[in-house]
Amino acid sequence: MNQPKIAQKVPYVMDIEPGTYFWCACGESKKQPYCDGSHKGTDFRPVKETVEKKKRVAWCGCKHSQKAPFCDGSHSKL
């Protein structure tokens, strides 16, 4: 697998609490948008994101964002 699986063609918009998150980069996780280890055996690795304060985010769902782990609108071109 050299291209990520498109989990969905819209972002995962949610309010999150401060903490450390691991965004799924391969698209195979059953716990989207977060990593569940499904990338094992591939060249994909989750993206670690540390959030300092509660905020609303738009995690990339298509896995093609140039600003991963966040949405940059790339899904509109797929």
Checking DSSP bridges between strand 55-59 and strand 47-51, what pairing results, if any? unpaired
% of the chain residues with pLDDT over 90: 97
* Structural domain harbouring 52: 12-77
Task: State residue 2's pLDDT score.
Answer: 85
Whether 21 is in a domain gets the answer yes
Q: What predicted TM-score, i.e. pTM, was given to this entire model?
A: 0.94
The CA-atom distances, in angstroms, between 75 and each of 11, 20, 23 are: 8, 25, 17
Given a cut of 70, whether residue 49 has pLDDT beyond it is: yes
How many structural domains is the chain composed of?
A: 1
Whether 49 is in a domain gets the answer yes
Calculate mean pLDDT across residues 11-35: 98
Whether 3 is in a domain gets the answer no
Whether 7 is in a domain gets the answer no
Whether 27 is in a domain gets the answer yes
Whether 29 is in a domain gets the answer yes
By the 8 A CB rule, do 4 and 63 touch?
yes
Average pLDDT score over the chain: 97
Task: State residue 1's pLDDT score.
Answer: 63
Q: Is the dihedral of CA 9, 12, 13, 18 positive or negative?
A: negative
By the 8 A CB rule, do 45 and 33 touch?
no
Task: State residue 7's pLDDT score.
Answer: 98
Whether 1 is in a domain gets the answer no
Whether 61 is in a domain gets the answer yes
